[in-house]
């Protein structure tokens, strides 16, 4: 199963767009029930089609070192075969979908449709072709805003309040699938709040309306003719629609497009931390109540969290008065807050509840996400952790690549039958047991044995773990129930 971004495929239409009044095509029709299947989508489709566009892009690629055959040469035809002109340059094109949101020519599409384009053309349903300029784009949400100039007002549609869209509501998609411009498909909203792990702001609407390659950037309409989402991705083993498509919700599109229009980029608030999800067992290990939260695993030097004296290992339970149950939820809440706002964080540190106020900064584009975990591995062990432990010396540091500023006890193996299996990894460095630093194998085993006297309380380990971006902190809860 894969989640490809919708490819931009299609064809270009030809010219002539009549004048339109500066009035949205998304006028709600009195008596239309969004929850009832209509007898026909004919009139709605006809009304909305003029505001849906096909987008054509061209990109020039520099010579790649292959020879260019001269004019008149028997090999000249291979220049065209390799897609090159007489100077050796290649021209690559792509096509996708989009829609007009204002009479003066503001257009919404996907970032991947226009990414790296040198030229962008917008093709309307009646054939008129207009050159577009890029106003701004956001890679995280895959939204881009274009602008075209027209001598007459353009037909446009409105963005819906996607918070009112519910599972089971009827929707229609209009776009340019596989080059067949002006195609209409219908279905329902299958699910809300889907996370595809594609960005910080994942909150997709899932639909079974047929969405295929070339629908990228096209609108998903409700029965009132309002855009409830921007079609962006599909899950498909074949590359075609299997009834699982995803759209960026219109409320997120509103917020992103407004910033792109005003600033040319999206400005997001930033806390300056990496965090991990805390399950019920971890929360219990912190001697806190509840079933979720997040644990700070890394703090950016001189960032907002660093200035507020937050610490690695703090368990965050609430952000600005709102309970936090996951990393995804906290990321969204931070992004929704204005830059410079001071917000209270409810945390647990060393088993004690505290409230710390943080002034949010601005996220820069080069911020990295937390590195992924590696898989566990290892032989049997006889201690209560079920892990082979070793003191850190120069040989161990070279063997596992442990930095000089990392001290503790290294895990050299994990038993498949031990309590730590699936938690500790080979190469992890245990630095704390139940908030107490450890410096030797004896000290570590002793603290674990002490914790075994109260097996109803999970053991909390703080480890240093190596990831793609370097070493980072990870917090683990180990159940101590006898096996």
Which residues are annotated as part of the binding site for substrate? 112, 142, 214-216
Contact between 148 and 129 (Cβ < 8 Å): no
The one catalytic residue among 26, 97, 125, 142: 142
289: which residues sit within 8 A by CB, 6+ positions away?
A: 283
Name the one residue in this structure whose structure tokens are 């930033």: 270
The one catalytic residue among 94, 112, 201, 384: 112
475: which residues sit within 8 A by CB, 6+ positions away?
A: 276, 278, 282, 295, 297, 313, 460, 461, 462, 463
Alpha-helix runs per DSSP H in 67-134:
77-81, 111-114
- Concerning whether 216 is annotated as a catalytic residue, the answer is yes
* CA 171 – CA 113 distance, rounded (Å): 23
359: which residues sit within 8 A by CB, 6+ positions away?
A: 304, 307, 308, 340, 341, 342
Contact between 172 and 215 (Cβ < 8 Å): no
DSSP-derived 3-state class of residue 196: coil
Contact between 199 and 110 (Cβ < 8 Å): no
Tokens representing residue 11 in the block: 């064809």
The one catalytic residue among 216, 236, 247, 381: 216
As annotated, the binding site includes: 112, 142, 214-216
Tokens representing residue 413 in the block: 């193996």
DSSP-derived 3-state class of residue 340: coil
Q: 304-325 in b/e burial notation, b at 16+ Cβ within 10 A?
A: bbeebebebbbbbbbbbeeebb
Number of residues that make up the chain: 483
* CA 371 – CA 373 distance, rounded (Å): 7
- Concerning whether 393 is annotated as a catalytic residue, the answer is no
- Concerning whether 112 is annotated as a catalytic residue, the answer is yes
Contact between 208 and 243 (Cβ < 8 Å): yes
Contact between 169 and 34 (Cβ < 8 Å): yes
23: which residues sit within 8 A by CB, 6+ positions away?
A: none
> 148 vs 106, 208, 371, CA distance in Å?
7, 32, 41
Catalytic residue IDs? 112, 142, 216
């Amino acid at each position: 199963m894969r989640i490809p971004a919708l490819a931009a495929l299609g064809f270009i239409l030809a010219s002539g767009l009549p004048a339109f009044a500066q009035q949205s095509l998304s006028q709600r029709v009195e008596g239309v029930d969004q929850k009832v299947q209509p007898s026909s989508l004919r009139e709605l489709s006809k009304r909305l089609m003029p505001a849906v566009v096909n987008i054509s892009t061209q990109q020039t690629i520099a010579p790649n070192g292959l020879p260019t055959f001269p004019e008149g040469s028997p090999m000249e035809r291979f220049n065209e075969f390799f897609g090159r002109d007489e100077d050796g340059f290649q021209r690559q094109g792509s096509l996708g979908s989009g829609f007009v949101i204002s009479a003066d020519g503001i257009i919404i599409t996907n970032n991947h449709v226009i990414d790296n384009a040198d030229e962008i053309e917008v093709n309307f349903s009646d054939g008129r072709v207009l050159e577009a300029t890029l106003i701004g784009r956001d890679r995280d949400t895959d939204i881009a805003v274009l602008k075209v100039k027209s001598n007459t007002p353009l037909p446009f549609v409105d963005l819906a309040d996607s918070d009112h869209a519910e599972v089971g509501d009827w929707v229609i998609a209009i776009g340019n699938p596989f080059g067949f411009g002006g195609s209409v498909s219908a279905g329902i909203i299958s699910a809300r709040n889907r996370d595809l792990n594609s960005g910080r702001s994942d909150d997709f609407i899932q639909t079974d309306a047929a969405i295929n390659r070339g629908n990228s950037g096209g609108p998903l309409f409700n029965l009132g003719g309002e855009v409830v989402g921007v079609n962006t991705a599909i899950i498909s083993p074949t590359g075609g629609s299997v009834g699982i498509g995803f759209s960026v919700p219109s409320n997120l599109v509103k917020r992103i497009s407004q910033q792109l229009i005003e600033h040319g980029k999206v400005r997001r608030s930033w806390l300056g931390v990496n965090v991990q999800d805390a399950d019920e067992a971890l929360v219990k290990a912190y001697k806190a109540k509840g079933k979720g939260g997040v644990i700070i695993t890394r703090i950016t030097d001189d960032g907002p969290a660093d200035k507020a004296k937050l610490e690695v290992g703090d368990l965050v339970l609430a952000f600005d008065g709102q309970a936090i149950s996951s990393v995804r939820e906290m990321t969204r809440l931070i992004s929704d807050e204005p830059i410079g706002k001071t917000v209270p964080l409810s945390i647990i540190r060393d088993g004690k509840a505290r409230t710390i106020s943080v002034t949010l900064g601005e996220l820069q584009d080069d911020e990295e996400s937390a590195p992924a975990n590696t898989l566990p591995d290892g032989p049997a062990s006889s201690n209560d952790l079920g892990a082979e432990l070793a003191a850190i010396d120069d040989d161990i540091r070279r063997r596992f690549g442990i930095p000089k500023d990392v001290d503790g006890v290294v895990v050299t193996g994990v038993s498949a039958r031990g309590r730590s299996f699936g938690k500790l990894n080979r190469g992890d460095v245990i630095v704390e047991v139940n908030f107490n630093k450890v410096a030797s194998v004896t000290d570590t085993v002793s603290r674990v044995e002490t914790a075994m006297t109260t097996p109803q309380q999970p053991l909390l380990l703080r480890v240093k773990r190596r990831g793609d971006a370097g070493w980072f902190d990870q917090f683990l809860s180990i159940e101590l129930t006898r096996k």
